[in-house]
Structures are given as C-alpha cells and as structure tokens.
Amino acid sequence: MNGTIEGGWGYVMAAYGITWFAWAGYALSLWLRNRKESP
Amino acid sequence: MTLARWTLLLGASGLLILGVGHGIGLMSTPAEASMGETGRILYLHVPTAWVAMLAFTAAFIAAIGSLWTGGARWDLSMESGIEVGMVFSVLICIQGPIWAYPTQNYWWTWDPRLTTTAIMVVAFTGVLVMRRLIHQHERRMAATAVATIVSWVNVPVVYFSVEWWDSVHQDLSQVSSVDKVMLVPLLVSLAGTSLLGAAFFLARYRIALGHYQREEVAPELPDLPAQLELEDSP
C-alpha cells in the first residue's frame, strides 16, 4: 500500500458524464426556449 | 456580429477547448499522487465552480446596474447570470460528493465550504422563484436586484471559507500549488468552461430579451394585490 487511492475511474466517468449530460440538456432547453420566444 | 453569432462562436470554441482540456486531463496526465485517478475530477470541478461564481458575480454587477439605471437590459442580464450560475452551482454540488466519497469516505458533510455553497444555491433559487412570483416588471426588477445583491454577499464567503475556517475541503487552488503537468489541463479546461458559460449566458439573455419585448407589447399581468383591488371595486 503506497497511500494512493486505487481505481476510481467509475467516479471520474460519473462526474464527467453527468456534467456533460447536464450541459447538453441545458443547451437543448435554451434552444427550445429561444425558438418559443423568437417572433 | 449578432448576439446569435457570438453565442455560437463562444459555444463552439468553448466546446473545442473544453474537449482538449478534458482530453488531456483524462488521457495524458498522470494520476494524482494521493487521490489516484479520482484526482482527474479536478479539471472538471474547479472550472465549474469558477464559472458558477463568475456568473453570480455578473448577476450582482447587473443587479447594481439595474437599481442604478432602471434599465431593462441590466435586469435581463441579472436573470441570465443567476440561471447560468445555478446550473453550474448545482453541478458542483453533484461533482463534489462524487469526488468526496472515494477520497474521504462521505458524500456530504456540513463543512463550511459545503454549507456556504448550499446556502448560495438556496439563496439564488429564492431569487429565481421571486422573479416567477412578481409579474409587474418594475417591482420584479427592484425586488430581485436587492435579493441578488444580498445573496451575492455569500459568494466571497464560499470562496474564502476554506481559509477562514477549519475545513475538510481542499485549500484554495493556486497556480503555485498545482504541478505543471496538472496545470495545463486545468487552465485549458478553465478557459473552455468559461467560454461555454459565456455562451450559455448570451443564449439565456437572448431568451430573456425576446420575452421582455413580447411582454412590452402584450399587457402585463397584474400582481395579486392589484387584482384583488380590481375585484373589490364596484
């Protein structure tokens, strides 16, 4: 044991995946709302 | 250049730079000495927190501008800044526990940094709720500008909380405290996330502007007291 946390890729992928998914979702919501508000 | 083109330009360049930053951080940077692979969340978490605070600070400046000038564009900028800040701050509240659990063995603790962040999220949620509840434009602008200024007072407290109090959270990240190998993906991700945040802000501002222009043409909905007054009058 050398004091380094072993593994952890699942947590890394979860953090990145959720964030990119949320950004994509927010971008989609902005696009849909923009279409609705455009004259 | 139009607002729509600026939004596209900032969004596309932000995504490109962010892709490079995250790519370097995930694939070519070595694992962190003590946190191992989980240390790679740094390139995601720090830029997200930075943009959240930047967006709330933009909303704070816009709130002062709106109270000072009474201009609608300041008010719309404030609304846009708060919404973008909320998206990014909710994300830091998700990323943080995902990082904390494998490294510190808990998802959440009422540590000063986490507590002040939670207060920040709740306070700005309150401002957005206020904007939904007040229909009369001038009243909404003044009331939510004051609420934004009051809510923003907590933002520097969030930032300095790890210096002011004992905290289990990592200390303030400074250029000198990060290894050069990790600094490159961190700064590239910071630039990309900032550009993406700016694109979100402009896109949200366009929506707010369109809504405002439509609202100006259509008669405004009366507030509840005014409605009651009308009903009571003979």
pLDDT-based confidence at B224, cuts 50/70/90? very low
pLDDT digits (tens, 9 = 90+) for B83-111: 999 999 999 999 999 999 998 889 999 99
Identity of the residue in A6, A11, A19 whose CB atom sits nearest the CB atom of B91 = A19
Q: Which of B46, B95, B196, B212 to mutate to test the interface with A (most CBs of A within 10 A)?
A: B95
The rounded mean pLDDT for chain B is 89
| Averaged pLDDT, B17-39 | 91
**Average pLDDT for B15-29:** 95
Cβ-Cβ contacts under 8 Å for B135 (sequence gap 6 or more):
B220, B221, B222, B223
Q: Does B87 touch chain A (CB under 8 A)?
A: yes
pLDDT at B73: 94
- Among chain B residues, the shortest Cα distance to A26 is held by B87
Residues of chain A numbered 1-39 and touching chain B (CB < 8 Å): 3-9, 11-12, 14-16, 18-19, 22-23, 26-27, 30-31, 33-34, 37-39
Which ipTM did the prediction report? 0.90
Point out which residues pair with B32 in neighbouring strands: B36
Q: What is the mean pLDDT of residues B33-43?
A: 90
Model pTM score: 0.88
Contact B38 A5 (CB under 8 A): yes
Contacts of B122 (CB under 8 A, 6+ apart): none
Which of A12, A22, A39 is facing B38, going by the closest CB pair? A12
For residue range B125-184, what is the model confidence (pLDDT) as tens digits? 999 999 999 988 899 999 999 999 999 999 999 999 988 887 777 776 666 777 888 899
- Residue A11 pLDDT exceeds 90: yes
Pairwise pLDDT comparison (B69 vs B2), residue with the higher score: B69
